[in-house]
Amino acid sequence: MKVTFPHMGNLHIVAKALLEYLDVPVVVPPPISKRTLALGLSHSPEFACIPLKINMGNFVEAAELGADTIVMAGGVGPCRFGYYAQVEREILKDLGYNYQMIVVEPPDTHWSEVKEKIKLISQGKPWWQITGAIKFAWLKARAIDIVEQKVQKIRARELVKGNADTVYRQALENIDMARDKQGVLKARDKALANLDDIPIDKDKTVLKVAVIGEIYTILEPYVNQNIEMHLGRLGVEVSRSIYLSEWINDHLFMKIIPIRSTKDYIKMAPPYLGHFVGGHGQETVGSAVKYSRTGFDGAIQLAPLTCMPEIVAQSILPVVSKKENFPIMTIYFDEQTGEAGMLTRLEAFIDLLERRVDLKRSKDNEWIFGN
């Protein structure tokens, strides 16, 4: 058995850690590239959203490296994603690939089924080993997110653009290579120290923008055209509504670790959106509310084109924007790779935010100086 899984941001580092701890042979699909996209596009229904197409590309490329088993997430509710594993299995079968597809449903709603699947993937490993694997994978996920959150701050302030990304890339590699707990913590601390060494403009006033929306689009830089890096280069500090470690804590650990939780967004979504609409639609609305009340200057909603839950959220966000006095822009992503359109929108959005901040400042001054 050689196990593979789809890419989603830094998920591969975490999934690889989990599987290798269980002595399961792993094939990480090659990093998403133009080739992945081209393969995915040619083997996917046209009307599906971009995650399915990239998944297909990943699976075809992983098969070329000898993978024979796929671990794929399932899903519940109105989002089409819950059906993707099934569709992908059928397409792969038609293409003649001999893949076994193991679909893992969301653990918080289907725990007993998930337990069975874990047993299957780990080939009957004892629970102490499985628990150890989950802990180790979690440790890597958290280390990555802690480093990334610092990178998001440094990018906006570094004197020479690109330094933070160099450290970040190296950190990901080191965390990926780490074989034990000490190794992960060492890699994390080294990255944090290196980030501290980057010369920054300490007095710079930076805009704070939240990236919110559909989980795959916000976590996968290939799909979102590296939006966070571009924002950073435009001098903007970014926070994302979902980090992988938070998702794991929310859905697998039942929030036992006291870190930020995406479940809080659900509480903050009413009265704008009072119920589940599939995917992360409700979280998107709630996260906009939360960020607007915690000192952020604006938010950008990202979603794959035709994403139903995010379309629902998008239609509600103008009300949130008005009531909370908080600019929000929506960008859809599909197979296009030209970045010019996105950059134009980002620049215009940042101009808008800057003007607002300037106006607010001059109004504050008026109040102070009584002009």
Residues that bind another protein (CB under 8 A): 30-35, 160-163, 165, 169, 222, 226, 229, 233, 305, 314-315, 317-319, 321, 327, 329, 331-332, 334, 336, 340-341, 343-345, 347-349, 351-352, 355-356, 359
- Residue 85 or 353: the one with the smaller Cβ distance to another protein is 353
What is the rounded distance in angstroms from the CA atom of residue 98 to the CA atom of residue 68? 6
CB of 154: closest distance to another protein in angstroms?
Answer: 14
Give the nearer residue to another protein in terms of CB position, either 190 or 345: 345
Closer Cβ to another protein, 334 or 366, answer by number: 334
Residue burial 314-341, b: 16+ Cβ < 10 Å; e: rest: bebbeebbeebebbbbbbbbeeeeeeee
Supply the minimum distance, in Å, between the C-beta of residue 349 and another protein: 8
Nearer to another protein, 82 or 235 (CB): 235
In the block, tokens 């609305």 appear at 285
Nearest distance in Å: CB 166, another protein: 9
In single-letter form, the type of residue at position 152 comes to Q
The residue among 270 and 341 lying less far from another protein, judged by its C-beta, is 341
Tell me how far, at minimum, the Cβ of 272 lies from another protein, in Å.
13
- The CA–CA distances, whole Å, from 301 to 127, 168, 333 equal 40, 24, 11
DSSP assignment of 59-117 equals HHHHHHTT--EEEEE---SSSTHHHHHHHHHHHHHHHT---EEEEEPPTTT-HHHHHHH
Tell me how far, at minimum, the Cβ of 74 lies from another protein, in Å.
28
CA distances from 358 to 110, 156, 348 (A): 50, 18, 15
Q: Which is nearer to another protein, 23 or 339 (CB)?
A: 339
Residue 296 CB, nearest distance to another protein (Å)? Answer: 17
Helix intervals (H) in 258-297? 263-268, 281-292
- Tokens 């950059």, located at residue: 343
